[in-house]
């Protein structure tokens, strides 16, 4: 909600500057951002009472002298003879209607009303609706203005029966479901209650006879309605967070006052539903309890003063103001006191939980992770959602984000294959991933399994020993032999034909319940899982990489270390990685062959052959400057 700083100042006798006010609002728990002279407030859902200038000023009363005595119409108002039937008193326990008839149209708004629209850059609608909107901003209570000449004298609040096409005052047509709470008149729906009124009965610029509805709806009767029908409604936002049941007459008298400021009033009549049964909340004055909740030693005077400033009345008991429906027990009162003190001003007190500190002990899940990481595997975490129904008992999401995420996966296989293809498409030629995750099925009851998935494809590694060896069936068998586990029956050679990838190297996958490895992994000595030292990550490039191989001949073996060190220390902004993939000594002719691969990639663009070849030439010059080094074929 946007609140203009100057508008709020009108309620404060003290005139704090915007920074000071901002700091106090934070202390009270009212998070916001400042845009020029506008506070963009984000109130917590329990503080519906603060969704207005008046509400915020009431809370700021703990820090500043305030003037919240808003001018209202004080004369007698006649009774409105309205045939209103409330068939939903549980959901709407309190409601009033005001009939107000004016002489002629209004051309100019008073400054306070004009500034509301100007400062918040809002569009005007018509006089009565504009006053309604202003009152919601000023006092927090939503009202709805009907053109009384378009509404019959019978109004009923009830649950809608059957579907109904309803056109809102914004001109949007919505299909109302049955059982929605609506106002009807002459058998027609005139208002989706607490959310938005209808077009047919809305005020216009020519309206001179209006009926103003002022109601209290319980939050649970309104919540979700605006979203369901895709309506932006300030009224429903306020009702969802809790409005004040007892403010209606004051709000309607304020409405009259504003109208009276602008035009002569011909007729005023008020209808009050007699069923209003608001019950005040009273709590014990238990300072000892409140101090013990906070761990402070506040005296009775400070506690009383704090609550009184917030609108509480204190006699033998503490009477909670009607606008604070969120206060129901001593912990709530403790929070009120803490807000006044300031959370940051409450001293911290040493805590000792359960005596001696404990050591972290490894579970067998940790041991499996540790084993695979030791063998060069990278852990991945994939989404639990999938489009694939991979099991007869897979669980369907009732309200998925989209059809691609309509079920919960029961196997890790598809996600891991997607991980391989994703990386192959980014020119990765040696991939070893694993994932450990719970998966769920439903067959006469929920069933949970913790699964391990391992997937490999491509080269065993980039060093000269592993470069020409593939990640295959044999590799996986040897891997699990290290913990004396025969993995053979779990290995699946994935059929590549259905995947969109040009790469032909086989993909091997293992998936099993981690408890199957329990006996074998139990004695694996876990090194502490390496905790990263908070590396600042470098953004990854989405541009393709290219590589070039260079194969050097070295005649003088004493130069080998020099050439390796030289090639390892080549620096370039477009070389992403380099490694020695081949090393071969031919003793007969006293020659060593060294193969190096350089991988090029830019963060900004796709590299051209010319740019890559320029870098390669620099590397060649550097290497060939070393004695006895040559590039065969050059």
Partner 1 sequence: MSSDKDIILPEIPLELGASHPINNMKDLILNLLISLGFKIINGPEIETEEYNFDMLNIKESHPARQMHDTFYVNNKDNVLRTHTSPVQIRSMLKNKPPLAFISGGKVYRKDDDATHLPMFHQVEGIYVDTEVNFSQLKDLIYKIIHSLFGEEVELRFRPSYFPFTEPSAEVDILSEEGKWLEILGCGIVNPVVLENCDIDSNKFSGLAFGLGVERIAMLKHGVSDIRDFYKSNLDFLNQFK
Q: Does 44 bind partner 1 (CB under 8 A)?
A: yes
Select from 110, 266, 329, 627 the one that contacts partner 1 (CB under 8 A). 329
- Residue 451 CB, shortest distance to partner 1, in Å, is 13
d(CA 144, CA 121): 21
- Determine the Cα–Cα distance for residues 184 and 87; give it in Å rounded to an integer: 11
Which range binds partner 1 by CB under 8 A, 76-84, 107-115, 244-252, 349-357? 349-357
Query: According to CB under 8 A, which residues from 448 to 477 bind partner 1?
Result: 448, 461, 463-465, 468
Write the DSSP assignment of 280-291 as a string of letters: --EEE--HHHHH
- At closest approach, how far in Å is the CB of 124 from partner 1? 31
The residue among 152 and 595 lying less far from partner 1, judged by its C-beta, is 595
Stretch that binds partner 1, among 78-86, 123-131, 337-345, 479-487 (CB under 8 A): 337-345
- Closest by Cα among 611, 605, 552 to 580: 552
Binding mask 570-599 for partner 1 (x = CB under 8 A): ------------xxxx-x------------
Q: Which residues pair with 226 in a beta bridge?
A: none
**CA–CA dist 144, 133 (Å, integer):** 9
> Tokens standing for 353?
């939980």
* Token pair listed for 107: 């051309």
Which one of 19, 175, 187, 356 is in contact with partner 1 (CB under 8 A)?
A: 356
Compute the least distance from the CB of residue 533 to partner 1, in Å: 10
What's the closest the beta carbon of residue 396 comes to partner 1, in angstroms? 7
Establish if 508 lies at the interface with partner 1 (CB under 8 A): no
CB of 279 to partner 1, least distance (A): 18
CB of 520 to partner 1, least distance (A): 19
CA–CA dist 69, 311 (Å, integer): 14
Find the helix or strand (DSSP H, E) in which 314 lies: strand 313-314
DSSP 124-153: ---HHHHHHHHHHHHH----EEEEGGGS-S
**Site for partner 1, residues 199 to 258, rule: CB under 8 A:** 218-220, 223-224, 227, 240
Per CB under 8 A, the segment of 249-257, 273-281, 489-497, 553-561 that binds partner 1 is: 553-561
**Residue showing tokens 């009224």:** 235
Which residue, 270 or 368, has its beta carbon nearer to partner 1? 368
Q: How many CB atoms lie within 10 A of CB 393?
A: 13
C-alpha span between 339 and 62 (Å, rounded): 10
**Binding to partner 1 in span 268-327, by CB under 8 A:** 292-296
Residue 149 sits in the site that holds partner 1 (CB under 8 A): no
Quick check: 428 binds partner 1 (CB under 8 A)?
Answer: yes
CA contacts within 13 A on the Cβ side of 308: 8
Residues in the chain: 634
Considering the complex, what minimum distance in angstroms separates the CB of residue 325 from partner 1?
11
Query: E-strand spans in 140-197?
Result: 144-147, 154-159, 164-167, 173-176, 181-185, 188-192, 196-197
Smallest separation (angstroms) from partner 1 to the CB of 472:
18
- CA-wise closest residue to 426 among 322, 576, 285: 576
Q: Choose which of 332, 390, 472, 556 interacts with partner 1 (CB under 8 A).
A: 332
The CB-of-306 to partner 1 minimum distance in angstroms stands at 14
Considering the rule CB under 8 A, would residue 73 count as an interface residue with partner 1?
Answer: no
Q: Give the rounded distance of the alpha carbon of 135 from its chain centre.
A: 31
Number of shown-chain residues binding partner 1 (CB under 8 A): 109
- As measured in angstroms, the least distance from the Cβ of 593 to partner 1 is 10
C-alpha dihedral, 75 to 79 to 80 to 82, nearest 10°: 150
Subset of residues 169 to 198 that bind partner 1, contact rule: CB under 8 A: none
Contact between 559 and partner 1 by CB under 8 A: the answer reads no
CA-only gyration radius of the chain, Å? 37
CB 195 within 8 A of CB 183: no
Q: Distance between CA 586 and CA 582 in Å, rounded?
A: 13
Query: How far apart are CB 330 and partner 1 at their closest, in Å?
Result: 8
Give the number of other Cβ atoms within 10 Å of residue 344's Cβ: 7
Q: Which stretch binds partner 1 (CB under 8 A): 8-16, 94-102, 307-315, 535-543?
A: 535-543
Of residues 368-407, those binding partner 1 (CB under 8 A): 369, 372-385, 395-401, 405
The stretch near partner 1 (CB under 8 A) out of 105-113, 149-157, 194-202, 417-425 is: 417-425
Q: CA angle at residue 246 from 240 to 249, to 5 degrees?
A: 115
423 binds partner 1 (CB under 8 A): yes
Q: Which of 268, 320 has the CB closer to partner 1? A: 320
């Amino acid at each position: 909600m946007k609140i203009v700083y100057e508008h709020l100042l009108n309620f404060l006798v003290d005139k704090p500057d915007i920074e000071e006010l901002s700091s106090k609002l934070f202390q009270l728990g009212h998070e916001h951002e400042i845009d020029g002279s506008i506070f963009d407030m984000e109130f917590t859902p329990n503080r519906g009472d603060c969704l207005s200038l008046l509400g915020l000023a009431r809370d700021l009363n703990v820090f500043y002298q305030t003037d919240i005595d808003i001018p209202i119409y004080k004369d007698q108002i006649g009774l409105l003879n309205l045939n209103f039937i409330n068939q939903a008193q549980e959901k709407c326990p309190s409601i009033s209607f005001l009939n107000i008839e004016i002489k002629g149209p209004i051309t100019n708004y008073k400054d306070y009303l004009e500034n509301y629209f100007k400062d918040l850059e809002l569009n005007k609608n018509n006089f009565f609706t504009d006053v309604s909107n202003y009152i919601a901003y000023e006092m927090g209570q939503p009202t709805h203005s009907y053109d009384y000449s378009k509404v019959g004298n019978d109004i009923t609040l009830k649950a809608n029966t059957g579907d109904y096409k309803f056109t809102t005052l914004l001109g949007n047509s919505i299909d109302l479901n049955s059982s929605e709470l609506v106002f009807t008149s002459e058998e027609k729906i005139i208002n989706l209650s607490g959310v938005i009124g209808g077009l047919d009965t809305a005020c216009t610029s020519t309206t001179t006879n209006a009926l103003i509805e002022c109601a209290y709806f319980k939050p649970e009767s309104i919540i979700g309605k605006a979203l369901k029908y895709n309506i932006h409604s300030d009224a429903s936002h306020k009702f969802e967070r809790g409005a004040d049941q007892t403010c209606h007459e004051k709000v309607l008298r304020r409405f009259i006052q504003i109208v009276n400021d602008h035009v002569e009033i011909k007729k005023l009549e008020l209808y009050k539903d007699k069923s209003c049964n608001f019950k005040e909340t009273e709590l014990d004055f238990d300072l000892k309890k409140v101090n013990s909740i906070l761990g402070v030693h506040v005296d009775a005077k400070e506690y009383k003063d704090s609550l009184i400033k917030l609108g509480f009345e204190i006699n033998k008991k503490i009477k909670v103001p009607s606008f604070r429906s969120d206060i129901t027990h001593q912990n709530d009162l403790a929070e009120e006191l803490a807000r006044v003190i300031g959370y940051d001003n409450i001293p911290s007190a040493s805590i000792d939980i359960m005596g001696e500190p404990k050591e972290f002990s490894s579970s067998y899940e940790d041991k499996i992770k540790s084993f695979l990481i030791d063998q060069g595997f990278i852990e991945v975490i994939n989404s639990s959602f999938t489009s694939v129904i991979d099991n007869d008992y897979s669980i369907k999401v009732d309200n998925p984000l989209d059809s691609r995420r309509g079920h919960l996966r029961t196997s890790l296989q598809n996600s891991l294959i997607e991980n391989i293809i994703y990386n192959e498409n980014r020119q990765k030629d040696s991939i070893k991933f694993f994932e450990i995750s719970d998966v769920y099925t439903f067959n006469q009851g929920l069933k949970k399994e913790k699964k391990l998935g391992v997937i490999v494809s491509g080269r065993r590694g980039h060093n000269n020993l592993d470069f020409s060896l593939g990640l295959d069936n044999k590799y996986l068998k040897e891997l699990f032999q290290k913990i004396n586990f025969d993995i053979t029956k779990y290995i699946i050679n994935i059929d590549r034909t259905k995947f969109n990838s040009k790469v032909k190297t086989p993909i091997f996958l293992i998936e099993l319940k981690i408890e199957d490895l329990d006996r074998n992994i139990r004695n694996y000595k876990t090194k502490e899982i390496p905790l990263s030292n908070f590396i600042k990550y470098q953004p990854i490039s989405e541009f393709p990489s290219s590589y070039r191989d260079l194969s050097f001949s070295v005649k003088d073996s004493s130069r080998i270390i020099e050439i390796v060190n030289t090639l390892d220390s080549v620096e370039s902004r477009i070389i992403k990685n380099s490694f020695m993939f081949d090393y071969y000594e031919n003793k007969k002719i006293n020659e060593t062959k060294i193969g190096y691969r350089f991988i090029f990639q830019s963060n900004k663009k796709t590299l051209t052959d010319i740019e890559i070849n320029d870098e390669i030439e620099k590397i060649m010059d550097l290497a060939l400057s070393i004695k006895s080094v040559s590039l065969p074929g050059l």
